[in-house]
Amino acid sequence: MFLIFTFIFLTGAKKAREVVFSVLHDACVDGDLSITEALDAAKDIFAENAKRFYKINVAVKSFDSKNVISPNFVKIETNTPQRDVVLVRLVWVDASGQHRCRVIPEKRFKDSVKKNGVGLTVACMAMSSATDGPAVGTNLSAVGEIRLIPDLSTKCRIPWATQEEMVLADMYLKPGEAWEYCPKEALRRVSKVLKDEFNLVMNAGFEIEFFLLKSVLREGKEEWVPFDTTPYCSTSSFDAASPLLHEVVAALESLNITVEQLHAEAGKGQFELALGYTECTVAANNLIFTREVIRAVARKYGLLATFVPKYALDDIGSGSHVHVSLWDNGKNVFMAYGGSSHYGMSKVGEEFMAGVLNHLPSILAFTAPIPNSYDRIQPNTWSGAYKCWGKENREAPLRTACPPGVMDDVVSNFEIKAFDGCANPYLGLAAVIAAGIDGLRGHLNLPDPIGKTA
């Protein structure tokens, strides 16, 4: 009887601690409590209540946050000063969407690299996803060097490695002279044309799909298999991954990146995270940082996060869908306003979107840049296998969308589904804008939408 009572008591105590930890953890993530306040609350709930209940007249030693906070917990804001930065990661993304970095001691970064950057072979932008060497047929080889110069507006503390910072890099031939192959510069150039000629800004918001994989041993060999096998929007799948996803959201919030929603996707071990809508260059920056966060947090849990378009040929693929719209002086001019409209969008919106549809096969070179991308883009997989557009048609590569709060029969943006996780987002968005500019210049019209599965 004593053993049964002991087991019940220990089980209840363990469960109580798990519940309290979950509640206080969420309060810290939401910013309702600081970590110090959460520790004081835990002290009151357990230690002080126990003293009163059992009439124990002893002082309880204060909690030491360094000893009780899980090393996996992402610290957002605390009352204690952060440790000094030791290293700075200078991050860029190549043409096949791979993230690369040079790591600089903080003193050298401040003394030299901040202004002059670091040297890098021009071949870096000709490397394929298969090999660390320039692809055959490019004019980028072992001869020639550029400079990676930090874009200081993107510098931030790394949430999972608090003695490090990361900053996105621009590519220059020399300080002040941008390299023509720099992806960020390509996006800046076409954005300037859109602004100068039409007084328009393109906003974008990404939906990021990824698989979580776990390591298993089969016949003495390591294999990576899906984290779970649950269906679309499964509550049990979200429960299982909830600690990891909480850390992802907390880390993104610490980087001032807005998360609009997240859920389990239809693939085995697949999830989707939707980011907030913002100016397209910032949206591309946010996508890079979000991929970094997801991969890093997954590693802390012993998992592998992959954004590859088609991880398993017998399962659905992962995209990096992007919603885009046009803005003029803070007003969404993709939408139709007043009177009759064509397809619920403005004339400017239709011309821009018609340019994107017209040039879609060429755009795919940037938004779906590797052979595996086309294993994903297949009929009946909602990945955009046909050259068409539709109103709320998820099989079409271009889909006009009417989110909650927008008037009936009016669309606020369009989604590009043929955009995946191996795309360099700067090059992909630059291709979209260039195609849209051609549509505006030529006053192109959209064909009739496809209202059913093609």
DSSP string for residues in 303-365: EEEE--TTS-TTS---BEEEEEEEEETTEE-SB--SS--BTTB-HHHHHHHHHHHHTHHHHHH
Counting DSSP H helices and E strands in the chain, the numbers are: 13, 18
Contact 346, 412 (CB under 8 A): no
Question: Within 10 Å of residue 22's Cβ, how many Cβ atoms?
Answer: 13
- Mean confidence (pLDDT) of the chain: 84
What is the rounded CA–CA span in Å between residue 26 and residue 230?
Answer: 25
E strand or H helix that includes residue 370: none
Token pair in block for residue 17: 């601690």
Chain segment 1-37, per-residue pLDDT in tens: 544 544 455 556 666 666 666 666 655 555 555 555 6
Q: Quick one: which of 205, 303, 218, 309 has its CA closest to 267?
A: 309
The CATH code that applies to domain 191-442 is 3.30.590.10
Q: How far is CA 179 from the centre of its chain?
A: 26
Quote the tokens at residue 359. 């040039």
- Give residue 163's pLDDT band: very low, low, confident or very high (50, 70, 90): very high
**Spatial separation of the C-alpha atoms in residues 284 and 429, rounded to whole Å:** 8
Distances (CA, A) of 261 to 46, 233, 382: 34, 12, 20
Phi, psi (rounded to 5 degrees) for 413: -165, 175
Contact 32, 41 (CB under 8 A): no
Min mean pLDDT across 230-234, 349-353, 437-441 is at: 230-234
CA distance 166 to 160: 11
The label of the residue with tokens 């994903």 reads: 376
Is 249 within 8 Å of 387 (Cβ atoms)? no
Beta bridge partners of 103: 89
Of the listed ranges 139-143, 299-303, 314-318, the least confidently predicted one is 139-143
Strand blocks (E) in 163-299? 164-174, 177-178, 201-218, 221-226, 259-264, 270-275, 278-279
Q: Are strands 201-218 and 177-178 parallel, antiparallel or unpaired?
A: unpaired
Residue 366 and residue 171: Cα distance in Å, rounded? 19
pLDDT surpasses 70 at 396: yes
Mean pLDDT of 140-144: 77
| 32 vs 372: which has the higher pLDDT | 372
Residue 28 DSSP SS3: helix
pLDDT digits (tens, 9 = 90+) for 403-424: 766 666 789 999 999 999 999 9
Position 314 pLDDT exceeds 70: yes
Cα(241)–Cα(59) distance, integer angstroms: 39
Tokens of 370: 């590797």
Identify any residues that bridge with 170 across adjacent strands, giving them in sequence order: 149
The secondary structure of residue 422, as a DSSP letter, is: T
pLDDT at 7: 47
Direct distance between the N- and C-terminal alpha carbons of the chain, in angstroms, rounded to an integer: 68
- Do 152 and 122 form a contact (C-beta atoms < 8 A)? no
Query: What SS3 class is residue 230?
Result: coil
The CA angle 435-94-382, to the nearest 5 degrees, is: 55
* Residue 158: pLDDT over 70: yes
Q: CATH classification of 87-180, choosing from 3.30.2350.10, 2.60.120.260, 1.10.150.120, 3.10.20.70?
A: 3.10.20.70
In the chain, which residues fall in CATH 3.10.20.70?
87-180
Determine which of 13-27, 228-242, 353-367 has the lowest per-residue pLDDT on average.
13-27
Higher per-residue pLDDT: 223 or 140: 223
Residues of the chain with CATH 3.30.590.10: 191-442
Residues in the chain: 454
Residue corresponding to tokens 């297949």? 378
CA distance linking residue 414 with residue 353, whole number of Å: 8
Mean pLDDT in residue range 143-156: 92
DSSP-derived 3-state class of residue 387: coil
Mean pLDDT to the nearest integer, 298-323: 93
Q: Which residue has the higher pLDDT, 419 or 67?
A: 419
Pick from 283, 30, 24, 67: nearest CA to 154: 283
Task: Show the CA angle centred on residue 412, arms to residues 256 and 338, nearest 5°.
Answer: 135
From CA 259, how far away is CA 256, in angstroms rounded?
Answer: 10
